[in-house]
Amino acid sequence: MPASREVVFVDGVRTPFGKSGPKGLYAETRADDLVVRVIRELMRRNPGLPPERVDEVAIAATTQTGDQGLTIGRSAAVLAGLPKSVPGYAIDRMCAGAMTAVTTVAGGISFGAYDVAIAGGVEHMGRHPMGEGADPNPRFLSEQLVDGSALVMGMTAENLHDRYPSITKERADAFAVASQEKAAKAYADGKIQRDLVPVATRKAAEGWGLATVDEAPRPGTTMAGLRDLRTPFRVHGRVTAGNASGINDGATGCIVAAEDVARELGLTPRMRLVSYAFAGVDPEVMGIGPIPATERALRLAGLSIDDIGLFEINEAFAVQVLAFLEHFGIADDDPRVNPYGGAIAFGHPLASSGVRLMIQLSRQFAERPDVRYGITTMCVGLGMGGTVIWENLA
């Protein structure tokens, strides 16, 4: 039985995130080609890593069909030019797909089955809307295993507002405005562009283009601008397009390795994996998933919430982040939370978002050598949460 090994995050990149739909950046670009672009850029940026030393490619997609099907980890690895000896697989945990890809290969590395792996995710929600082709078992509703709202993410966010009456629409809108402002500042300061891989795009009517920045952010968003947006999930509701993430296309990827192997190959690890945990909650309020997942991850690591110096929380909905902060007694505007902004600004291409959180946390760690621990956490469809605790190696 091999002794367990330390696992490190070496490097991560992502495509710019596009808006889904016929006018979006990637309307006529294949999902698997987005993954290929990410894998090639990871290899280009880390020339000390021989391609044959990659032991696994784990790529997540929520809707595993069409150009997101065909065991996308393996097919994208072949398309990216990795040696045919490098295996790969597909993984699905809805929004936490890429996060689960990372934790799964990390377990393999710790156990000794792998030395180095590539993990990430892709979602082309324009080509493959969430739930496309799915056939939910009628027993979910006939036996009242879940409420009817459990399968509509926006309705679960409204349910969360009900559970936390102190989280008003005004608080959610204010959080959304701050996310847009922080993302705009991070762009202005050049903090986002360094991990974006340009993607050549082509549309029959327009010809070639180059995607170099995220399409979703709305700099200049104001409280007044959000006040009167319609609430599509409930009459007189609180969830709007302004205080939720959008419907997006994009891919992410990262290199995860055993710490000793990374140093042997001359790679520079950015952060060390301390612990991770996934937890289930009532699907009707899936947004509270990060709370028990974080409590469990902290318990496994022997840490408390006060030990965490940086938080990357996926902003599927503002209310879901605010519920997490309220539970742990953290202020809505705490500077440790999503310093570069979050998914309300950048977008949330479901299965890819977990690695975006890790990329941003690793960059913040480099700026903050005074911070030892940070977390990446997110809520997950069908009532789950996932959290990974990381140690700063800067």
Say if CB 85 and CB 110 are below 8 A apart: no
Beta-strand runs (E) in the chain: 7-14, 18-19, 56-60, 88-91, 116-124, 199-203, 207-211, 248-258, 271-280, 308-313, 373-380, 384-392
**How many Å apart are CA 294 and CA 276, to the nearest integer?**
8
Active site annotation includes 348:
yes
SS3 89: strand
295-319 burial by CB neighbour count: b if 16+ within 10 A, else e? bbbbeebebeeeebbbbbbbbbbbb
Say if CB 119 and CB 13 are below 8 A apart: no
Amino acid present at 201 = T
Active-site residue, from 95, 128, 161, 254 = 95
Nearest in space to 352 (alpha carbons), one of 117, 55, 58, 23 = 58
Q: Which residues contact 169 (CB under 8 A, 6 or more apart)?
A: 161, 238, 240, 243
Q: Is the torsion defined by CA of 301, 303, 309, 312 positive or negative?
A: positive
Say if CB 344 and CB 338 are below 8 A apart: no
**How many Å apart are CA 362 and CA 343, to the nearest integer?**
17
Per the structure block, which two tokens stand in for 257? 């390795």
Written as one string, the DSSP assignment of 223-289 is HHHHHT---TTSTT-S--TTSB---EEEEEEEEEEEHHHHHHTT----EEEEEEEEEE--GGGGGGT
Active-site residue, from 124, 128, 161, 348 = 348
DSSP 66: G
Active site annotation includes 254:
no
DSSP 22: T
Active site annotation includes 379:
yes
Active-site residues, by number, are: 95, 348, 379
